[in-house]
Amino acid sequence: MLLDLAKTGISVISPAEEIAAYEAIWTHYSTFPKVAELFRRYKHALPSKVAAAIGIPAAEIARIKQAVAALLPYHKFSALFYEDFEYPERLKDARHPVEVLYYRGALDLLSSRSIAVVGARKASENGIRRARKLARFLVENDFTVMSGLAEGIDTAAHTATLEAKGRTIAVIGTALNEVYPRANYDLQKEIARNYLLISQVPFYLYSQQDYRRNRFFFPERNKTMSALSEATVIVEASESSGSLTQAEAAIQQKRKLFILDSCFKPGLDWPEKFLAKGAIRLVDGSEILEHLAPNA
């Protein structure tokens, strides 16, 4: 978050105070549509102003501020607020734009051309192989590979990108202080240190809920990933896959949606459904270059 300078006549903003206020708001509203509508109503004012307007006590914010610091010290992560200069304009295309985006790593990667590679957690061997091949292709063509750090296709895309010396962004469905799956601890740490790790999940609320309620953060993560990227590629997915949430978001946000040719097989209805909505069948990778203008 950018700090206003006192000499400008504007009060200095405390990121920690604003994050605490935002986290406190989440304990009262608890879903992205509700939080987004609240901030839209107050014209994206700072969280401290919104929290005061809806009557959240200062003592509650102070308590949550300490709780967040215990989960992940404020100096170990950063936050982008909706009205910040560096807040990505692409994200405003989402139906319910994230008001605060938490991150660790190189924020400038959001300015690079990125393509999201997503798919099944319980991926087949062929799906893993295709994800790795696609990631290498994207690196060779100077794209940043974005994915969700989940098991299966996501992990394959991230690891193949790093092996190819490419750039990667992970948009996770947990709070920044959590790792899921645990097997990706080292991978998440490397991405946070050398590339970019993003989360829209509130620390405090996440820590207070069990996995049954926290699972709803994952599909919201996919909508954000779609908005942040130039296009989404689905490598492999079942009819109930969370990747289809991202496919719907890509269509709604007017992003390019590519579906690997191997997904078009008997028993799956979703590929044809999205093809009818404007998705593009990806046969050999060249379609990506054909549909994404060099200077887009």
Shared domain check, 280 and 165: yes
Query: Among the three residues 37, 70, 104, which one is the final residue of a domain in this structure?
Result: 104
Q: 213 and 257, same structural domain?
A: yes
- Alpha helices of 164-202 — where are they, by DSSP H? 185-194
Q: Tell whether 122 and 251 lie within a shared domain.
A: yes
- On whether both 150 and 231 belong to a single domain, the answer is yes
296 located within any domain: no
Domain boundary among 76, 104, 132: 104
Average pLDDT along the chain: 94
174 and 269 assigned to the same domain = yes
Q: Is residue 1 part of a domain?
A: no
DSSP 38-105: HHHHTTT--HHHHHHHTT--HHHHHHHHHHHHHHS-GGG-EEEETTSTTS-GGGGGSSS--SEEEEEE
As for how many domains the chain has, the answer is: 2
pTM, 2 dp: 0.93
Q: Is the pLDDT of residue 190 over 50?
A: yes
In a domain, 112, yes or no: yes
For the record, the structure tokens of 185 come out as: 């601890």
Residue 274, domain extent: 107-291
Distance CA 95, CA 253 (A): 8
Is it the case that residue 73 has pLDDT exceeding 70? yes
Residue 154 pLDDT: 98
pLDDT band at 294 (very low <50, low <70, confident <90, very high): low
pLDDT, tens digit (0-9, with 9 covering 90-100), for 227-260: 999 999 999 999 999 899 999 999 999 999 999 9
Q: Is the pLDDT of residue 265 over 90?
A: no
For residues 43 and 185, state if they share a domain: no
* Of 34 and 2, the one with more pLDDT: 34
Say yes or no: 85 and 224 in one domain: no
Q: Are residues 193 and 287 located together in one domain of the fold?
A: yes
Measured distance between the N- and C-terminal CA atoms of the chain, rounded to whole angstroms? 27
Per the document, the length of the chain is 296
For residue 3, pLDDT beyond 50 = no
138 plus 277 within the same structural domain: yes
pLDDT digits (tens, 9 = 90+) for 134-177: 999 999 999 999 999 999 999 999 999 999 999 999 999 999 99
Radius of gyration of the chain, Cα coordinates, nearest whole angstrom: 19
Residue closest to 143 by CA, chosen among 179, 119, 110, 167? 167
Letter for the amino acid at 38? L
- Cα separation, 64 vs 27, in Å, equals 10
> Once rounded to an integer, what is the mean pLDDT over residues 33-49?
97
CATH code of the domain containing 286: 3.40.50.450
- Distance separating alpha carbons of residues 118 and 141, to the nearest angstrom: 18
Within a domain: 17: yes
> What span, in angstroms and rounded, lies between the C-alpha atoms of 93 and 35?
16
Q: Average pLDDT of 121-125?
A: 96
111 with 208, same domain: the answer is yes
Residue 179 falls within a domain, yes or no? yes
Pick the last residue of a domain from 104, 131, 164: 104
Minimal CA–CA distance to 109: which of 38, 192, 202?
192
Instruction: Please check the confidence at residue 8 and state whether its pLDDT lies above 90.
Output: no
Alpha helices per DSSP H over 72-145: 125-140
Specify the pLDDT at position 267.
Answer: 86
Based on the domain organization, do 112 and 237 belong to the same domain?
yes
38 closest CA partner among 274, 262, 27, 167: 27
